[in-house]
Amino acid sequence: MYKSKRLYILSEKEIKEIYTIPNFYQEEQDEYFSLNNLERKLVFSHNSISSIIYFILQLGYFKVKKKFFKFSFKDVISDSQYLLMRYFQNEKVLLKNLAFTTKNDQKKKIIKYFGYQRSTKTVKDRLLRKIKKLIIIDTNPVYIFRELMNYLDQNKIISPGYTYLQETIGATIKEEKNRLILAVKKHINIKSKTSFMIYYLLKKNYMKLRM
């Protein structure tokens, strides 16, 4: 059986909690799908009911997860029906999937409204520098991941996907591991029992990371 060589950071349950569409109870629907005056203006600038419902869905999910999701109305039937009831008195409307350009336009409006920024190449370069600084403090991948998520939240940056963070953290830890081992190996006498133990323990410590 194939076994992934990616760094283990989060359990499947933890990944789901962060990266999947929230499953709202009615009280949560009431809260996160409520619209203030400015949000109403943004939402109802769209003409079709399908566009309006989709906008409110993305807006509500973004309020909770600070990220966007790919979904169709069939994937979120309960929330879609709730919104039709709340804002259109349960009009019997066949909701149609939106064009990519419409969805992208809605995302841009939400990003601007909340003052967030996408994970561009420039942003990812900043994240890499942040990871390298965090590794100096602690090489525990869970610690690095949590600190990165805090950094993204504080700086209003939409998080890259889990796989990207997983691979980037793993590659950076491996790079630092190799750098330290080579540095120690270069400056110690392997023939010395004490020096050899230092080298051995350093190498063993990094090998404990689950890759």
The model's pLDDT over 171-197, given as tens digits with 9 standing for 90+, comes to 988 888 877 767 666 666 555 555 555
Tell me, what's the pLDDT at 109?
96
> Averaged over 105-126, what is the pLDDT?
94
- Reported residue count of the chain is 211
Q: Alpha-carbon distance 196 to 188, whole Å?
A: 8
Taking only the tens place, the pLDDT of each residue in 20-68 is: 999 999 999 999 999 999 999 999 999 899 999 999 999 999 999 999 9
Question: What is the C-alpha separation between 141 and 173, in angstroms, rounded?
Answer: 8
Q: Where are the domains of the chain?
A: 12-114, 121-207
Nearest alpha carbon to residue 93 among 51, 60, 59: 51
For residues 203 and 179, the answer to whether their CB atoms sit within 8 Å is no
Please report where in the chains the tokens 């029906």 appear, as a residue. Answer: 81
pLDDT for 161 beyond 50:
yes
Predicted pLDDT at 198: 58
